[in-house]
Structure 1
């Protein structure tokens, strides 16, 4: 990685909260549980958001939904991303999160591009219904206000290039009393393909008076500096870039406070990170389930390193910490980080596709009377 220093970034103010450096971990289903958030928080300060939870699941006391409300010791600020399409349920869920679980920040997700969500009118297509979006945001902010906790929202540019919604969404969020808005610089039609449009983030920043967070294509700490310099964004949201690379938050903490980025880790240091991650998962879920959950992370951690096929396969089948220790001992601890991987996309990418919408969705931009209750599906992303 090219060494880079920068002028220290200002702390991000979300109501009474101060996030310094201004870095937010994006919720990712099946990844950003309490163990992973603890691991990232050990690397550097920031805001680490719990996996997305549906508002109805919370209000109806769904066991699986409430079971996700587990927080690590390192999480000084309990932050939850909430998904909902009904103002009543969103407002009630915020009260429960703040009053019963000590949550200090709620983020509302309007960025999911998954077809089973968009075809019901949820996720990244909901902001097309300006009236409905306004009611949801006002319900959340109104419920959060007595507890003094900030509400933010995350969205995409729009449905596709012909139906952009982000500027109106920013205005609605500001008028509703949201503390900030995060923009993923892609449309729902793009999913995770192509390049994120940082110029859209800059336009949103010029359009609203609340903090704007930029999301999309932050693969290295230097990307965060470039994004903030290019767009004027008040902070960054990091998603796929930290898959198998929790030390990215260490690097972000350095460059956003004006220090040079630390050297990238050797394979031995990555192995230590894998071990720590597995230990935290075992503590969270129990050893058997935790180690099975750890398996999906192996390809991300080892991407680009020279590791034999046999040991890779074995790491993908680990079932105990002792088994993991034996396998990690067989890795070359001095192997340097693969420079070929620097700056490359990580995780899912896919290809652009037409967005599936409910019948007549584009005929009306208000949506207050639309029944989109079927869109409350527990799938995160954005």
Structure 2
């Protein structure tokens, strides 16, 4: 798969996930297989303001190439400035634009999965990004639309091609679906049939490497974007590389090997955040994902999920049954799920799909990363 000047094989992208895809986790994933590994979503306003938290979030490990940054923005001018900053200061090798985030604090400002409904505003943002990117490829990730009555993905795909976007990723859900229900792979197929000039990547309900191969076969998409399926499973990228190379070999680590990975993950977070207490607190959310399917006593699980130091975490990890084999039937949904009653939008957002008005204070409550 070719995304601008980048040759990507296997055709796999790690989806940006807030609080997850920081440098320590990306390094663990990269060690398992190749592809594109995208950092957490960065707000364009925070980047151009050089917010200290944001500047820390875009740090990459020395081993990370190519470097991918995902940007969130609603104002075309600020998006253009942010992309120009990335290109001129060599902050990354690839820029992805977020038009898929469904969380209320984003959509109520007209951002994320709400934005493609405003066709002309989307066009202005894409034009500003591509026009300021220089040689860097610009891609976009989106959802089907706001809800089933306001689908936007086919129009957005056409606009993206016209404005020089290098690739499109489609999550087969609407914003209202959030992470509930079943991803609509048929929509990915329809987008690929409509967009033939650039790669189309599919996203949604890829819990195993076999799911990824099946998605490509059923939809004709050029590659896949993996999000929740890799939570607690960085070795999924080894499976994906094997699968796309035609190998049936799959990683099946023992509980001891999983524990070693957990220790490295926590150590990496400590180096990244500098403050051990904060790093270990951040790691706690990963414990349940790493241990999914394994037989671990409730008391020990609780100890691991409430650890307050590296030493405490290491002591608890040492008590795991290291020879316990990889559990069967673990290629199942991970992370958040469930639908929303409605999508929070700016007042009057649905009145005119073609106006270009940037909502007032569009990024004011999410500046800082």
Find the counterpart in structure 1 of residue 104 from structure 2: 115
5 Å-filtered alignment, 1:195-274, equals 195-208=182-195, 209-274=197-262
Q: Which has the higher contact order (CA 8 A, sep 6+)?
A: 1
Deviation at 1:73, TM superposition (A): 2.2
In structure 2, the residue corresponding to 1:159 is in which secondary structure?
coil
CA RMSD between the two structures: 1.6
Q: 1:360 and 1:172 mapped to 2: Cα distance? A: 23
Find the counterpart in structure 1 of residue 347 from structure 2: 359
Which digits, 9 at most, give the CA deviation of each residue in 1:84-115, with x for residues without a partner? 00111000000111222431100000011112
Q: 2:47 and 2:363 mapped to 1: Cα distance? A: 16
Q: 1:364 and 1:178 mapped to 2: Cα distance? A: 25
Deviation at 1:376, TM superposition (A): 5.8
Seen in structure 2, the aligned counterparts of structure 1 residues 131 and 376 have a Cα distance that, compared at 3 Å, is: farther
- In the alignment, structure 1 residue 43 sits paired with structure 2 residue 29: no
Q: 1:179 and 1:349 mapped to 2: Cα distance? A: 30
Find the counterpart in structure 1 of residue 327 from structure 2: 338
Which digits, 9 at most, give the CA deviation of each residue in 1:13-52, with x for residues without a partner? 1111111111100111111111100111111111110111
Deviation at 1:288, TM superposition (A): 3.0
The list of structure 1 runs, each at least 4 consecutive aligned residues, that deviate by more than 3 angstroms after superposition, is: 375-380
**Stretches of structure 2 lacking an aligned partner (at least 5 in a row):** none
Find the counterpart in structure 1 of residue 113 from structure 2: 124
Q: 2:326 and 2:184 mapped to 1: Cα distance? A: 29
TM-score of the aligned structures, taking structure 2 as reference length? 0.96
Find the counterpart in structure 1 of residue 288 from structure 2: 299
Matched positions, count: 366
Does the CA contact (< 8 Å) of 1:121 and 1:375 recur in 2? Answer: no
Deviation at 1:284, TM superposition (A): 1.3
5 Å-filtered alignment, 1:160-171, equals 160-171=147-158
Q: 1:378 and 1:44 mapped to 2: Cα distance? A: 33
In structure 2, the residue corresponding to 1:339 is in which secondary structure?
coil
5 Å-filtered alignment, 1:275-294, equals 275-286=263-274, 287-294=276-283
Q: Which residue, out of 129, 137, 146, partners 1:159? A: 146
Q: 1:75 and 1:152 mapped to 2: Cα distance? A: 19
Which digits, 9 at most, give the CA deviation of each residue in 1:170-218, with x for residues without a partner? 0000000000000000000100000000010010001012110100000
TM-score of the aligned structures, taking structure 1 as reference length? 0.92
